[in-house]
Amino acid sequence: MARRIFLAGHRGMVGGAIHRRLIANGAPEADILTRSHADLDLTDQRAVQAFMQAERPDAVILAAARVGGIHANNTYPADFIYDNLMMEANVIHQAHLAGVQSLLFLGSSCIYPRDAAQPMREDALLTGPLEPTNEPYAVAKIAGIKLCESYNRQHGADYRSVMPTNLYGPGDNFHPENSHVVPALIRRFHEAVETGEPEVTIWGSGTPRREFLHVDDMAEASLFVMDLDRATYEANTRPMLSHINVGTGSDVSIAELARMVADVTGFEGRIVQDTSKPDGTPRKLMDVSRLADMGWRARIGLQDGIAETYDWFKAHAGSVREN
Ligand SMILES: NC(=O)C1=CN([C@@H]2O[C@H](COP(=O)(O)OP(=O)(O)OC[C@H]3O[C@@H](n4cnc5c(N)ncnc54)[C@H](OP(=O)(O)O)[C@@H]3O)[C@@H](O)[C@H]2O)C=CC1
Ligand SMILES: C[C@H]1O[C@H](OP(=O)(O)OP(=O)(O)OC[C@H]2O[C@@H](n3cnc4c(=O)[nH]c(N)nc43)[C@H](O)[C@@H]2O)[C@@H](O)[C@@H](O)C1=O
């Protein structure tokens, strides 16, 4: 019997990539249930309850969230903790009440302590203080992991959690202030080339290191984890480790990233640092061996991924998302 999947956040970068991947894998469009934010506000408990009771999907992929880069997290902490706590609590609890057996929750690499040993293993969770610039968001994401784990333990559900590293790709948010670093730099370097600006400013010292996974790889990994048989998933997430890291296993400095974006966009001017802006976590490289041991590895390299994303950005000039 076909499996009807509620894909929450289908208009977002990850949700859009998962939607494309499901269709590419042969899922009939009719089996992929979607609702826009305007049609179903996932922070509204009654609305989510009514939707889940009416539709009773067989599975849920929760790719909806309040998402943003270091500036957005640092500026809107109440929005980030409240919206994400409400969305995950509503979707996970109402999925349980509607008898949904299979759910995938997307967390984030920022759940790990700011000074966790690198690369960060899944069992580093809750072993130290978090990075202040995104602690509210991280606390909400940790709560999401614990929600899934608790419904699995108490109700025998099969609710799984994946922890993506920094993501980028088509469909990203290109807001000049609220976006993540890759879309922000693609836009800024592109505009400098268009206007003949002699220099581009990047935030912070340029020394922090980040791991960047293309969103199409993330979509493939999400469905891979979702389709794992339960015994394999449980065997690889013990003891009490109900989440799996998803990344490339390699990182670059922000200065190296800026150089790559300059090369891809053809910018030949100066790159300067605005050290009045926060660096955030010095490094957050994920240990991706658990997922590799289960048979999945990232395929899209950063240079190629940035070039492909830049092509997408230019092809969608004037209509890219900025929120
Ligand atoms: N991007 C990244 O680098 C990383 C992302 N993640 C996680 O991956 C997941 C997807 O992120 P990403 O695709 O980048 O985010 P996007 O912002 O691109 O997409 C999020 C989606 O959620 C929707 N949404 C937001 N609030 C609500 C709401 N109250 N009710 C219903 N829908 C809502 C948005 O709709 P609308 O725009 O209309 O509000 C949007 O479609 C999230 O869980 C995020 O935390 C984890 C690590 C890194
Ligand atoms: C995925 C993860 O993403 C967020 O954490 P982050 O990795 O710190 O996010 P970021 O991509 O915004 O920054 C990465 C680095 O890049 C530097 N940087 C330089 N120039 C720009 C710039 O122009 N914009 C941005 N955003 N950063 C810049 C910036 O100073 C920082 O050192 C969490 O909030 C949370 O959302 C989360 O889970």
Domain total for the chain? 1
Assigned domain for 255 exists: no
Assigned domain for 149 exists: yes
Assigned domain for 96 exists: yes
Q: Which domain holds residue 216?
A: 5-172+211-249+286-300
- Report the separation in Å between the CA atom of 148 and the middle of ligand 2, taken as the mean of its atom positions: 27
Residues 6+ apart with CB under 8 A from 239: none
Atom of ligand 1 nearest to the CA of 172: 18
Assigned domain for 262 exists: no
Assigned domain for 145 exists: yes
Residues making up the annotated binding site for substrate are: 188, 203, 210, 279
What is the DSSP annotation of 283-320?
Answer: B--B--HHHHHTT------HHHHHHHHHHHHHHTTTTS
Assigned domain for 307 exists: no
3-state helix, strand, coil in the chain (%, to 5): 45, 15, 40
Assigned domain for 308 exists: no
Question: Is 137 designated active site?
Answer: yes
171: left (phi over 0), alpha (psi -120 to 50) or beta: left
- Report the separation in Å between the CA atom of 167 and the middle of ligand 2, taken as the mean of its atom positions: 11
69 touches ligand 2 (CB under 6 Å): yes
Write the single-letter amino acid at 270: R
* pLDDT tens across the length of the chain (323 residues): 568 999 999 999 999 999 999 999 999 999 999 999 999 999 999 999 999 999 999 999 999 999 999 999 999 999 999 999 999 999 999 999 999 999 999 999 999 999 999 999 999 999 999 999 999 999 999 999 999 999 999 999 999 999 999 999 999 999 999 999 999 999 999 999 999 999 999 999 999 999 999 999 999 999 999 999 988 888 888 765 589 999 999 999 999 999 999 999 999 999 999 999 999 999 999 999 999 999 999 999 999 999 999 999 999 988 999 99
- Report the separation in Å between the CA atom of 67 and the middle of ligand 1, taken as the mean of its atom positions: 5
Give the ligand whose atoms come closest to the C-alpha of residue 183. Answer: 2
Helices (H), the chain: 13-24, 45-55, 70-75, 77-97, 135-155, 181-195, 215-227, 230-235, 254-265, 289-293, 302-315
Burial 92-114 (b: 16+ CB within 10 A, else e): bbbbbebebebbbbbbbbbbbbb
Give the ligand whose atoms come closest to the C-alpha of residue 111. Answer: 2
215 touches ligand 1 (CB under 6 Å): no
Assigned domain for 24 exists: yes
The CATH number assigned to the domain holding 106 equals: 3.40.50.720
